[in-house]
Structure 1
């Protein structure tokens, strides 16, 4: 199949692919976000019904991908006006590094530091993210790159589960669910562990189910919110509950979300929650998938500054860090909770997965910040993570961090939030829409400080049609879905339908480094205005050269 001409064939098709990527990158701001219906139909109908007996070869396959498959998928999910989810773009450095990672195709699973620096690269990338967030490196020495925030939440709840049970007076000291299976004791409370939160992301329920704790209301329980801050715990009620659970000697995981998924809002009191968890022996898991980076905007720093007090922390690289899928980030201060869960006893560890020492020495520096892990001491990723097989996700993360630095990422965060606030300002005065997530007074006037322009907390805009709307009347439970569809059919802007306080709503999440305050704001407001009037926005009529240039 691969003859002597295969290298020439590879080079020819590599040039084609690079040309395609280059053209797309230079025109992504003017591309339709959604493919046309005909393109989707064409792609699906072109899919082979059976595996061909004889392969098509590289050239024909690349041609098929470029001409038949790619036209039917999202054309600009990583473009500047895709607001459907908190999805960043792909910075130029990250995109190029990801291509290199694929080309080298290293499986980063075992620390062979004297043979490859890949695990050291991953560890340093995680340390640089800590630097970005002003978290000392020695706070979370248990750290790893995952497939996403859901996987990171799985690790957080699994670590919490084993940590809490290892200290349970109902079980032998050091008991491990991971090693010994589900616990059994006549005195053990049922359920043995509960999860307390306010508005936990769906991935928490998924993670809790996966680690065997359960996802029903007996396990995941909602706590009362503060009377003046619906995104903050009522600390008095939380302490009462933690005290009750400590008396029956039940394990408690408190989940604190930094950045509410529907509103982009932030609750206060994370530091106080951490103190209560420490006092009553509970595990604090902070899910800061996207909101953890909001603190790069100075006025939001107070809502993220206490993340370092968590027992475990979830972040997401393919959201606001704008690195390609997939790239979740997990941190814990309890390193042993990771290794105890994933690392088999040395006697039964597969010999072929052991670190093989050679005569090459690792280079270390004495002037590195405290908490920097030496190359020789990096735990093999397969012993602190779910996967045994994993791609070199750290390379694009490292590239993006180095290319932008703290200043560059701060600029992205501030620009995205200001863009969202500009859209929210339009909606708040529009005759067609109602803004659903205005900043509460306690946010706009924090102490003696006034946040000018803080019409919404951060980068998410939540809205619906006005009650007077005949096109999308709120009393119609499908109206927000219809409104979302009308906006998305423009193919210029993509938003998502959601539900907030029992009502349908439309959500705009801004997290792409390309989103421009002038060009893209004009396009977004034009689409919203046109849809609000009941007029159809047609891509074919306006096109990339008229309104998107």
Structure 2
């Protein structure tokens, strides 16, 4: 059979219209549907188990099947009652930007392959640094998420720390390299440890520092650092929301490279009400955050921010490792990927649509919802284990072993809300991350009602 290539413009515009219609219908019901996928929807995923088609299919049929089987089996993260993983829904402008950027089909390799992609990254970079109160000369790399952002910044740190000792890690690798020290709090996130492993530094070298009851580094117990040391600080503990005393850490750095993992917590700098949580953060050498957390962009919008662009460029560049004087490096030479989507378009759209006041209100409102949630849980007999300084709530109660997973599972099955179990300071607990622009006061009360209506979990057998 001879395959006839359809008219690409007609096929693409038709498919886009169909997808937009189906997506709009999905979003129109997402606030009322079960937050977790229902059992019959999960069973329906078996419909995808088919042999790969031999002949081409009409794109309309492909999209219909995707919607019919896939949409019911999603977790409703776009709604207001998803409180897991410290992620928010997607802002309307950011959603539209992803659709438009997908139609543009840009590879942001350089300004030759995507003039608009590079320009919007440059503009968004200026906005971000200003909002976050970071030096205007910092570089911002647009990567997939916090893991790759940590990898990128820590690669720059590895380069700079070894260069001080006369070692070119890009040329010589780590065989025979001088040993680096790594200092981190006991509560350092797993993605930072993963980045160290991928960089060949490893995790056994980490000198862990005890933390206080909120998960903050106890600076008084931190070993003395030097110019061959990497210090890993945290802005926003994934359980408590607390941030390390970064000002004190920077003051004791003694020439060490200070890296701040702020996957969600760094956004607290954008609001006067929460900025004090990050005192001294601007004195660090590198920072990481995620757009798809508190900024509410689509996924794959991580940000690697560095005070030393030349170190980033040296670690990531694929050609002459020198930044143009007074110029900007191609995006491909500041991050690991060559084939990069136009992530900066979505960051730009989120910031442009929110404005300074909108971003401040998003942060302040979600923090207020978290405090309301904590008060409601306390009224039900829960003990709140963290100081609710940002958007995180960790709650526990006297109950048989396994109660937290049982409670979270029961509420998920009810479809009313999604939150997960955790272990905090040796105690079973449930954790709520209030991060979405779509969450309302009614969503908080509905979640509290669902928890109150859930029977106590039985003891483990």
TM-score over 0.5 (shorter chain): yes
Q: CA deviation at 1:163?
A: 0.9
For 1:435, the equivalent position in structure 2 comes to 384
Residue by residue over 1:15-49, the C-alpha shift from the partner in whole angstroms, topping out at 9 and shown as x without a partner, is 32222222233332212212211211211x21244
Tell whether the 8 Å contact from 2:216 to 2:242 is kept in structure 1 after alignment. no
Q: CA deviation at 1:10?
A: 4.2
Tell whether the 8 Å contact from 2:87 to 2:293 is kept in structure 1 after alignment. yes
Q: CA deviation at 1:145?
A: 0.6
Structure 2 vs 1, CA of residues 194 and 534 (structure 1 numbering), >3 Å: closer, same or farther? closer
For 1:203, the equivalent position in structure 2 comes to 191
For 2:29, the equivalent position in structure 1 comes to 27
Q: Distance in 2 between matches of 1:282 and 1:3?
A: 59
Residue by residue over 1:497-525, the C-alpha shift from the partner in whole angstroms, topping out at 9 and shown as x without a partner, is 111112221111000001001x2122111
Q: 1:308 aligns with which of 271, 282, 297?
A: 282
For 2:118, the equivalent position in structure 1 comes to 119
- State whether structure 2 residue 171 is matched by structure 1 residue 179: yes
Single out whichever of 116-125 and 324-333 deviates more from structure 2: 116-125
For 1:83, the equivalent position in structure 2 comes to 83
For 1:255, the equivalent position in structure 2 comes to 232
For 1:335, the equivalent position in structure 2 comes to 309
Tell whether the 8 Å contact from 1:120 to 1:378 is kept in structure 2 after alignment. no
Residue by residue over 1:375-431, the C-alpha shift from the partner in whole angstroms, topping out at 9 and shown as x without a partner, is xx2211111111010100111111111111010011111110111111100111213
For 2:251, the equivalent position in structure 1 comes to 275
Q: Distance in 2 between matches of 1:285 and 1:13?
A: 45
Structure 2 vs 1, CA of residues 197 and 176 (structure 1 numbering), >3 Å: closer, same or farther? farther
- State whether structure 2 residue 217 is matched by structure 1 residue 233: yes
For 1:149, the equivalent position in structure 2 comes to 146
- State whether structure 2 residue 270 is matched by structure 1 residue 296: yes
Q: Distance in 1 between matches of 2:214 and 2:9?
A: 61
For 1:495, the equivalent position in structure 2 comes to 419
Tell whether the 8 Å contact from 2:81 to 2:444 is kept in structure 1 after alignment. no
- State whether structure 2 residue 179 is matched by structure 1 residue 213: no
Q: Distance in 2 between matches of 1:435 and 1:257?
A: 22
Unaligned runs of 5+ in 2: none
Q: Distance in 2 between matches of 1:286 and 1:119?
A: 26
Q: Distance in 1 between matches of 2:419 and 2:446?
A: 13
Q: 1:524 aligns with which of 430, 447, 451?
A: 447
Tell whether the 8 Å contact from 2:412 to 2:418 is kept in structure 1 after alignment. yes
For 1:462, the equivalent position in structure 2 comes to 394
SS at match of 1:144: strand
Residue by residue over 1:97-129, the C-alpha shift from the partner in whole angstroms, topping out at 9 and shown as x without a partner, is 10001001100012339x723212112112211
Residue by residue over 1:314-362, the C-alpha shift from the partner in whole angstroms, topping out at 9 and shown as x without a partner, is 0110000000011001111111111111224549x9xxxxx9xxxxxxx
Residue by residue over 1:216-261, the C-alpha shift from the partner in whole angstroms, topping out at 9 and shown as x without a partner, is 3xx12211346xx7544333432xx225xx4xx7x21111101111
Structure 2 vs 1, CA of residues 332 and 483 (structure 1 numbering), >3 Å: closer, same or farther? same
Q: Distance in 2 between matches of 1:498 and 1:145?
A: 30
Q: CA deviation at 1:304?
A: 2.2
For 1:539, the equivalent position in structure 2 comes to none
SS at match of 1:531: coil
Q: How does 1:527-546 map to 2 (within 5 A)?
A: 527-532=450-455
For 1:224, the equivalent position in structure 2 comes to 210
Tell whether the 8 Å contact from 2:145 to 2:290 is kept in structure 1 after alignment. yes
The root-mean-square deviation of aligned C-alpha atoms, in Å, is 2.4
Structure 2 vs 1, CA of residues 9 and 121 (structure 1 numbering), >3 Å: closer, same or farther? closer
Q: Distance in 2 between matches of 1:533 and 1:345?
A: 61
Tell whether the 8 Å contact from 1:111 to 1:380 is kept in structure 2 after alignment. yes
Residue by residue over 1:245-285, the C-alpha shift from the partner in whole angstroms, topping out at 9 and shown as x without a partner, is x4xx7x21111101111111234x312211221xx221100
Structure 2 vs 1, CA of residues 13 and 159 (structure 1 numbering), >3 Å: closer, same or farther? closer
Q: CA deviation at 1:297?
A: 3.8
Q: Distance in 2 between matches of 1:323 and 1:107?
A: 19
* TM-score (norm: length of structure 1): 0.78
For 2:134, the equivalent position in structure 1 comes to 135
Structure 2 vs 1, CA of residues 532 and 422 (structure 1 numbering), >3 Å: closer, same or farther? farther
| The structure with more radius of gyration | 1
Tell whether the 8 Å contact from 1:270 to 1:307 is kept in structure 2 after alignment. yes
Single out whichever of 394-403 and 15-24 deviates more from structure 2: 15-24
Q: CA deviation at 1:309?
A: 0.9
Tell whether the 8 Å contact from 2:182 to 2:207 is kept in structure 1 after alignment. yes
Tell whether the 8 Å contact from 2:88 to 2:293 is kept in structure 1 after alignment. yes
Paired residue total: 455
Q: 2:155 aligns with which of 132, 152, 158?
A: 158
Structure 2 vs 1, CA of residues 8 and 332 (structure 1 numbering), >3 Å: closer, same or farther? closer
Q: 1:36 aligns with which of 29, 35, 38?
A: 38
Tell whether the 8 Å contact from 1:266 to 1:457 is kept in structure 2 after alignment. no
Unaligned runs of 5+ in 1: 350-354, 356-372, 440-455, 536-549
